[in-house]
Structure 1
Amino acid sequence: IHVRAETSKVRTSRIFLCRNGHYFERWKEIAGHANKNGLICSVDGEKPITKRQLLYHFKKMVELAGIPDLNERDIVPYSLRHFMITQRIMSGLSYRQVADMYGTSVAQIERTYYHLNDEIRLTNAVADFRRREDGTIEAI
């Protein structure tokens, strides 16, 4: 994914790879975007959707997800970024790797996500594993 400087919070462009990128390609196909390098959150790939449109559809998706205590949780589109950063840290990426992926500083990642270190240490301490028939190991 190429994040253009003009759409980036910190106004610097970056390119990052992500899993399941085929979903973006599929969306462009379904939406009929002619420009393969166009915007993802767009009706035509050229003109960005409005904030109002984004929030309307995001609210509908969150409701469909059946998230408990939805009214108390203040889930907004930015929550997806927080969730993804948390998942990357919990999967073992370094703060440097995560900062590079999300276009922020290591210091900012440390300030915001340092509490996850205790959770990671606890998870590692109590983890159990089993060996699958194919020889690979999986956490139980």
Structure 2
Amino acid sequence: MPRPAKGPRLYKHKHRPQWYIADTGIRSFSTGCTSRADAEAALSIYIANKGRSGATLEPENVTIAEVLTAYGAGHAPSVAAPERIGYAIDALLPFWGRLKVSHVRGETCRRYGKVRCRSPGTIRRELGTLQAAINYAHREGYITSAVVVTLPQAPEPKERWLTRSEAAKLLYAAYRGTQPHLAKFMLIALYTGTRKDAILRMGLEPNTVGGWFDLDNGIMFRRGEGERQTKKRRKPAPIPRQLLCHLKRWQRNGARWAVENKGARCGSIEYGFRKTADDLGLTDVTPHTLKHTAITWALQNGASIWDVAGFFSTSTATIERVYGHHSDDYMASALRAVEGR
């Protein structure tokens, strides 16, 4: 009597780290995943699409949950920050999960924004992930055509920056309290304009987590050798003299990471920063405000837009669009022409 078919299943290769999918009547193939959780997600995609063809792959027959699962399992592991895709998928699934791809229309996108009840910028990022997932599913053959996601209008860039007095109050409050690691984060952000996540992964020596400060040569490497380059750039830059003195002092005191808490690399400063800012009445200030502040101060002190873009690893177009009016040269040639005889 023949044995019953086992059906689709996972198994671990003896000599390779990846998980494989085996099924009756087909040759086993790799999921490309080394973790069991990711492999199970890939298996669920395989089972969902097994035997599908023709009309079953039309947008009206494929759920958004299937598309997001395929995108999360197949594409997210290959990007520099997969957790961002994960956050967006977690937010999208409660509303979109059971809907079909064909239900993606302007009306449902606007309804999602109302139900989600978040800022237009957040809704735009989450719906952007939905569009990316649909495009990925189309390229990979999970659906026969890609629909267009209606995004809310992009919000105006935030121009909030700190005065010298406000920055001093924040630093003093952090140092005076029980959060010296928060004060270190603020100093690095104000002197270098580096993004929060990059600062929290930076060490005082080469590491496998993120960038590092070369204190001997005075160079800041915002991105580690093993990290992917993203549109956020994170180019190397010289370390400002004042910050270099602080970093060397921290290293002499035994620090291995730029921002340490009780001898370990600090993973988050969100709660401490929010509480410190709120206690001072700076309720509209976020960690990203420190980057705005660093760039604004540099332009106000006479730095050129070209040099600011290079030092802060930000495109000249962004500097001109968001911060350009702080520069001493802003519209100077036009003003001279108008005032001239």
Fold match (TM-score > 0.5): yes
Hey, what's the Cα distance between the residues in 1 that align with 2:267 and 2:286?
Answer: 15
Q: 1:110-121 counterparts in 2 under 5 A?
A: 110-117=320-327
Task: Tell me if structure 2 keeps the 8 A contact 1:90–1:120.
Answer: no
**For residues 114-135 of structure 1, what are the alpha-carbon distances to aligned partners after superposition, in whole Å with 9 as ceiling and x for unaligned?**
22247978xxxxxxxxxxxxxx
Hey, what's the Cα distance between the residues in 1 that align with 2:250 and 2:325?
Answer: 35
Q: 1:100-115 counterparts in 2 under 5 A?
A: 100-115=310-325
Hey, what's the Cα distance between the residues in 1 that align with 2:330 and 2:275?
Answer: 33
Hey, what's the Cα distance between the residues in 2 that align with 1:80 and 1:108?
Answer: 16
Following superposition, the deviation at residue 95 of structure 1 comes to 0.5
Task: Tell me if structure 1 keeps the 8 A contact 2:221–2:237.
Answer: yes
Quick one: structure 1 residues 17 and 118, their matched pair in 2 at CA, closer, same or farther if it must change by over 3 Å?
Answer: closer
Q: 1:61-80 counterparts in 2 under 5 A?
A: 61-62=276-277, 66=280, 69-71=281-283, 74-80=284-290
Match of 2:237 in 1: 15
Name the SS of the counterpart of 1:57 in structure 2.
Answer: helix
Amino acid aligned to 1:16: P
Name the SS of the counterpart of 1:50 in structure 2.
Answer: coil
Task: Tell me if structure 1 keeps the 8 A contact 2:305–2:324.
Answer: no
Name the SS of the counterpart of 1:20 in structure 2.
Answer: helix
Q: How many residues are aligned here? A: 108
**For residues 9-62 of structure 1, what are the alpha-carbon distances to aligned partners after superposition, in whole Å with 9 as ceiling and x for unaligned?**
6254413221312122223344x22x4xxx3123478x64222xx112323443
**For residues 43-88 of structure 1, what are the alpha-carbon distances to aligned partners after superposition, in whole Å with 9 as ceiling and x for unaligned?**
478x64222xx11232344356x3xx423xx211111111010000
Quick one: structure 1 residues 88 and 7, their matched pair in 2 at CA, closer, same or farther if it must change by over 3 Å?
Answer: farther
Hey, what's the Cα distance between the residues in 1 that align with 2:251 and 2:228?
Answer: 18
TM-score normalised by L of structure 2: 0.27
Quick one: structure 1 residues 8 and 28, their matched pair in 2 at CA, closer, same or farther if it must change by over 3 Å?
Answer: farther
Amino acid aligned to 2:308: V
Amino acid aligned to 1:70: L
Amino acid aligned to 2:259: C
TM-score normalised by L of structure 1: 0.60
Name the SS of the counterpart of 1:115 in structure 2.
Answer: helix
**For residues 79-108 of structure 1, what are the alpha-carbon distances to aligned partners after superposition, in whole Å with 9 as ceiling and x for unaligned?**
111101000000000011111111111111
Name the SS of the counterpart of 2:249 in structure 1.
Answer: helix
Greater C-alpha radius of gyration: 2
Following superposition, the deviation at residue 8 of structure 1 comes to 7.7
Quick one: structure 1 residues 28 and 120, their matched pair in 2 at CA, closer, same or farther if it must change by over 3 Å?
Answer: farther
Task: Tell me if structure 1 keeps the 8 A contact 2:302–2:328.
Answer: no
Q: Is 1:49 aligned to residue 266 of structure 2? A: yes
Match of 1:82 in 2: 292
Match of 1:91 among 282, 301, 304: 301
Match of 2:222 in 1: 3
Name the SS of the counterpart of 1:87 in structure 2.
Answer: helix
